Chain A
Amino acid sequence: MPIRKGKAVLHLERPPQIRARAAVGGNAEAAGPLGASFDQLFPDPYMGLETWEQAESALLKAALEHALRKGNIESKDVDLLLCGDLLNQCTATGFAARDLGIPLAGLYGACSTFAMALALGALQMDGGGFSHILAAASSHFCAAEKQFRFPLEYGGQPQAAGQRTATAAGALLLEAPPELSFIEKQLERLGTIRESAAEIRKPEALADTPITVGIPNVILGRVVDLGVKDSAEMGAAMAPAACDTLLRFLADTATAPEAYDCILTGDLGQVGSELLYDLCMQEAHIDIRQVHKDGGTLLYDIETQAEAGVGGSGAGCSAAVVCTYVLQQLEAARWTRVLFLGTGALLSAISPLQGQTIPCICHGVELAPFADGKHRIRHRLAETSDTPQEDLMTGVWHEALKNKLLGTFDKNT
């Protein structure tokens, strides 16, 4: 069962593991710095189909199928698909799920959809009753332009702070962590710590265990609106929501930005990122510049790809970046703790025309590696001896793993 920490963060006692990840992209994404990390790239924006809307469905379906294939699981064995996109009525999702036969909960959180799907998936799984959940999101540049802006061939002037909707989709297969064995349960119950602690601190005990990433903490965002009216200023509109969720997360988990190897925002772009730094400074005197990265500026090479504007955006942007770059860093043990903040602008194509400001939201998901259920409990036992109770919920495995990776176990014993 999830445990509430502070006011808003939900800590997952049995954090779901990420069993497989998949990302697909289009032409501009292929030319970007993450091009080589995608599972499949589609140079044709129509993907051989009649319409851009169909193409987005096909894109999403490709991501889902890659995730199923890499997770070595059939679609009938997946319990739930949490998925969304930017099209009206989430049609890319509905059509992509048509042939999969997985129970579907369609989500709309604009560009925050992927973080929302991960957060809800993790909560569902920790609540019990689910063994495999697929979380996914997509966006398509042409389909989004058609719905939210101007026809593609219209000769408009690009906005100075404009962002490019990514043609991309990302999918993660979440899996319930292995059940603890009877003995491990007893160990946990009795609090027999010393023996396990000695064991965990032998580097060889963990040396060749592959790294699986889990979701230990999630936070659901609230709608924040600081009065931005121009739909070309998406980054600026969403930055306050990112700031709100980030500060609440840090407060509830009693952590500083430096505790994370990366605080990743979904798609604030260059302008939104700068505004986020300013807001964090103003609101809480916190400097996140050193640990912050933005999905929108990771997906494209802003210097050379003029079409990217000040960065990528769209539900597929953060999904693709998390499913490629971020998880690669975690799996390769270059990072041990990431806070992913998916930002979304909850406007429609007509709301700005009616003079409305842009309400924005940001959902947060902590991503951190752990070896497997067995090691997890051992880590916990090992750390309980000299770690205050508060820390048990946040950084237990991270620290243990960090030590393992740095080979500093001797230091602790």
Chain B
Amino acid sequence: MRTSPEAYGELRRRETPQSPHFKHILGSFLIGGTICAVGEGLAQLFTALGWAEKTVTLAVPVTLIVLTAILTAAGVFDKIARHGAAGTGVPISGFANAIVAPAMEHRTEGRILGTGANLFRLAGPVLAYGSAVCVVYGIIYYFFLR
């Protein structure tokens, strides 16, 4: 072909539709905000029940994780996420979904090599690099911020 990869790259950029950024930002704000509001509501509820603050800060994320897992299993979460963009991905709901989805997907390959081996297929990088960043932060904290 006479068209070079560079020239085709130009053509492609012209013809490929852009992601609807405004829609995504609005969706993230509304759905992500709703998730955070639900979290805050749960915190208020648990506090009203007379739970200690330490228990409440633990109980809120756990409840959100369980809710996400249930919504994922029911096949609803991915439909919400389609509109929620980063709004569903960034809060703890995104992490819970990234664990449950591959677990469900690979259960046909058995408990060990299916579900077990693929459980962290998507969340693995977050755990690995999250831990690495924690180590770096710990060193900085130890020497400079303590």
Residue ranges of A at the interface with B (Cβ–Cβ < 8 Å)? 50-53, 146, 150-161, 224-228, 233, 236, 240, 243-244, 271, 274-275, 278-279, 282-283, 310
B84 contacts the other chain (CB 8 A): yes
Which among A50, A51, A153, A224 is the interface contact of B77 at CB below 8 angstroms?
A: A153
Give Cα distance in the complex from A282 to B12, angstroms.
14
Say which residue of A153, A156, A161, A282 sits within 8 Å of B104 (CB atoms).
A153
Interface flags for B1-16 (1: CB within 8 Å of A; 0: not) read 1111110110110011
A329 to chain B minimum Cβ distance, whole angstroms, is: 28
Residue B61 interfacial (CB < 8 Å): no
Are B100 and A153 neighbours in the complex by a CB distance under 8 Å? yes
A157 touches B85 (CB 8 A): yes
User: Does the CB pair B105–A226 fall under 8 Å?
Assistant: no
- Report the Cα distance A224→B2, complex, angstroms: 12
Chain B residues lying within 8 Å of A155, measured Cβ to Cβ, are 72, 77-78, 80-82, 84, 88-89, 94, 97, 101
- Identify which of B1, B20, B75, B94 contacts A240 (C-beta below 8 A): B1
- Per the bound structure, the CA–CA distance linking A325 and B75 in Å amounts to 33
Identify A160's interface contact among B1, B17, B89, CB under 8 A.
B17
Residue of B nearest to A306 (CB): B82
By a CB distance below 8 angstroms, the chain B residues around A224 are: 1
CB-CB under 8 A for A275 and B94, given A151-B105, A153-B104: no
- Are B8 and A154 in contact, with the CB atoms below 8 A? no
Are B105 and A236 in contact, CB atoms less than 8 angstroms apart?
no
User: Which A residue sits closest to B83, measured CB to CB?
Assistant: A157
Q: Which 4 A-B pairs have the closest CB atoms?
A: A155-B81, A227-B5, A151-B105, A154-B101
Among residues of B, the one whose C-beta sits closest to the C-beta of A145 is: B105
Contacting residues, chain B, for A227 (C-beta < 8 A): 5-6, 8-9
Find out whether the CB atom of A160 lies under 8 angstroms from the CB atom of B98. no
Query: Which residues in window 1-41 of B have CB below 8 A to A?
Result: 1-6, 8-9, 11-12, 15-20, 24
| Smallest Cβ-Cβ distance to A225: which chain B residue | B5
Please, which residues of chain B bring their CB within 8 A of the CB of A228?
A: 8, 12
Find residues 32-81 in chain B having any chain A CB closer than 8 Å to their own CB.
72-73, 75, 77-78, 80-81
- 28 contacts across the A-B interface (CB closer than 8 A): A50-B108, A51-B108, A53-B108, A151-B121, A151-B122, A152-B105, A154-B101, A155-B72, A155-B82, A155-B88, A156-B81, A157-B19, A157-B85, A160-B16, A161-B17, A226-B1, A226-B3, A226-B8, A228-B12, A233-B12, A236-B12, A236-B15, A236-B16, A240-B3, A240-B8, A275-B11, A279-B3, A279-B8
List the A residue with the shortest CB-CB distance to B105.
A151
Question: Which one, A153, A160, A275, A310, contacts B105 given CB within 8 A?
Answer: A153
